[in-house]
Amino acid sequence: MLNKAKALVNEFLTHHPEGLLVVLGPTASGKTGLSVQLAHWIKAHLGKTVEIISVDSRQIYKGCDISSAKITTEEMEGVTHHGIDIVDLETDYSVHDWQQYCFETIEAIKTRGHIPMLVGGTMLWLDAVTLNYDFDEKGTKSDRQLEPLWPILQLGLMWPREVLYERINERAQAQFENGLIEETVQILSEYKPSSSSPQQGEGKKITKTAFTSFGYLEIEAYLKGLITYDEALSKNQQRNRSYAKKQLTWWRGRDEVHWLV
């Protein structure tokens, strides 16, 4: 994958030094590792500094490090990352909010003479930037078609379905074994699901999107004794496999994506 990516990036940046790089793919496909490797290669061989913008609707939230598979400082290997830990769990954050943040961040990176690289798998958020969605004053997407703001190279990571599902299952198990349950206990001690009834008390409420997407829902059921540990893990793995299937369906037929198999 990496060698093919290097060749594509080299050709693209030779013709479009002002361009935007994108690394996309389903959950657990290895986007984080590949993007950091690419950033180091671009610096060493092309003399350009890369700054990465995480395009993940879960990693924007503070305090959800394990559940969102958030990149660690060590994994960044000195490469600057944006789009991580920018809002609290009680904050609703729309695709329009994201687009505006991303546009501003891209322009700031370009002002520094660096190369912006979008890395992630939140499909709608990626499209909002690469396809330059048009929003009205209320943040509602219009039907107006706009031209992309920059030349774009999109690299997609692809695995055989059975290999991808095994990667997803293994990562979920590792998350359960390395602090996801403890993280859930901490989150639930600070926040209540936004669907909580008034009788459950006041206080900070985690948005419904965040609560269901992180896997806290099945772990809460386990902590309450409603399901077993193995059932919670299985539900978590199934949810992530279903999400990966949805991602692959979204990108099916996208001729502009160079798939790295």
Question: What secondary structure letter does DSSP report for 199?
Answer: G
pLDDT of residue 210: 74
pLDDT of residue 202: 57
Helices 123-130 & 95-111 angle (0-180, nearest 10): 50
Tokens of 104: 């501003």
- How does pLDDT run across 176-229, given as a tens digit for each residue? 999 999 999 998 888 876 554 333 445 688 887 777 767 788 999 999 999 999
pLDDT of residue 188: 86
- Rounded-to-integer distance, Cα 210 and Cα 198, Å: 20
The model's pTM is: 0.92
- How does pLDDT run across 41-61, given as a tens digit for each residue? 999 999 999 999 999 999 999
Q: What domains sit in the chain, N to C, each tagged with a CATH number?
A: 2-160+247-260 (3.40.50.300), 162-244 (1.10.287.890)
State the CB neighbour count (10 A cutoff) for residue 242. Answer: 11
Angle at Cα 158 formed by Cα 180 and Cα 261, nearest 5°? 135
pLDDT of residue 74: 96
pLDDT of residue 198: 37
pLDDT of residue 195: 52
pLDDT of residue 145: 87
The dihedral formed by the CA atoms of 62, 65, 66 and 70, expressed in degrees to the nearest 10: 120
pLDDT of residue 204: 80
pLDDT of residue 196: 47
Which residues, given as ranges, of the chain have pLDDT below 50?
196-201
Helix or strand run (H / E) with residue 8: helix 2-15
